[in-house]
């Protein structure tokens, strides 16, 4: 589940949602915000059955990426979610940067895993096969439905409707599933934003049928249904 660390209410709801993993947004965060994020992460880890902790970061062409990793590394997240990930090469590059940060902070090498938010542009579709050689840090490919919808000029509701087989985004979704299987990692589908219970249930069933191992969402109310369908 994606959650804004600066939103106390959203964080509290995420804590109680039962999500397997929480991903805190780090893009554009100031130093005080990172300090607050660290406090939230510490609170999560005090739970008896604490979820995995991930932090999302922007694409590697962001000029501040190394400075951002300097702040993130001491938080020792279980992993990072790489936004706008265009290829397996980007994952390997991030892995190399993480190896340096892990050594500097005394964290076990390779312990920080990576989820790639992929297939978000037309060009990136042709790079999905490169994730098979992205390295051992990669644990999942997550479909970047929102960004792809914007790229293609279609409504996000169409892009995230799992059974919309005629939509141009269906090809990207299917190819991401194939790429994840080739890379031997989990494929994560996007939960339809604002979906009612029945629509979300149908979407989860379709995702399971199509080979996806889970759903990601920003809606804490969707977690119980997602957990039930992917148990």
- pLDDT tens-digit map of 188-205: 999 988 879 999 999 999
Give the DSSP H or E segment for 6. none
| Res 83: pLDDT | 92
Strands 52-57 and 138-143: unpaired
For residue 40, name the pLDDT band (cuts at 50, 70, 90): confident
Most confident of 35-39, 67-71, 104-108: 104-108
| Res 161: pLDDT | 56
pLDDT greater than 90 at residue 86: yes
Within 10 angstroms of residue 194's Cβ, the number of other Cβ atoms is 11
| Res 62: pLDDT | 67
For residue 169, name the pLDDT band (cuts at 50, 70, 90): confident
Phi then psi for residue 56, to 5 deg, are -85, 140
Within 10 angstroms of residue 11's Cβ, the number of other Cβ atoms is 22
**Range 85-107 average pLDDT:** 96
| Res 165: pLDDT | 52
| Res 189: pLDDT | 94
**Range 175-198 average pLDDT:** 94
Query: Over the chain, what is the mean pLDDT?
Result: 87
| Res 166: pLDDT | 52
For residue 158, name the pLDDT band (cuts at 50, 70, 90): low
Q: Which residue has the higher pLDDT, 16 or 179?
A: 179
Contact 203, 197 (CB under 8 A): no
Give the DSSP H or E segment for 142. strand 138-143
Cα distance between residue 204 and residue 44, in whole Å? 27
43-47, 77-81, 161-165 — which is least confidently predicted?
A: 161-165
Cα distance between residue 140 and residue 115, in whole Å? 5
């Amino acid at each position: 589940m994606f959650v804004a660390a600066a939103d106390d209410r959203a964080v509290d709801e995420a804590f109680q949602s039962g999500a397997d993993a929480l991903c805190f947004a780090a893009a554009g965060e100031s130093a005080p915000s990172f300090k607050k994020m660290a406090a939230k992460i510490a609170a999560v880890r005090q739970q008896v059955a604490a979820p995995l902790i991930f932090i999302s970061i922007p694409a590697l062409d962001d000029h501040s990426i190394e400075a951002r990793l300097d702040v993130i590394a001491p938080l020792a997240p279980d992993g990072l979610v790489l936004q706008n990930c265009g290829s397996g090469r980007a994952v390997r590059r991030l892995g190399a940067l993480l190896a340096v940060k892990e050594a500097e902070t005394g964290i076990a090498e390779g312990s920080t895993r990576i989820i790639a938010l992929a297939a978000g542009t037309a060009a990136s579709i042709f790079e999905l096969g490169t994730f098979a050689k992205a390295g051992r840090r990669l644990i999942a490919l997550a479909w970047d439905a929102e960004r792809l919808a914007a790229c293609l000029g279609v409504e996000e509701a169409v892009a995230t409707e799992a059974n919309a087989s005629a939509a141009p985004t269906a090809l990207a979704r299917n190819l991401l599933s194939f790429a994840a299987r080739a890379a031997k990692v989990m494929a994560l589908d996007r939960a339809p934003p604002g979906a009612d219970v029945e629509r979300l249930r149908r979407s989860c069933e379709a995702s399971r049928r199509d080979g996806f191992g889970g759903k990601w969402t920003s809606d804490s109310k969707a977690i119980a249904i997602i957990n039930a369908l992917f148990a």
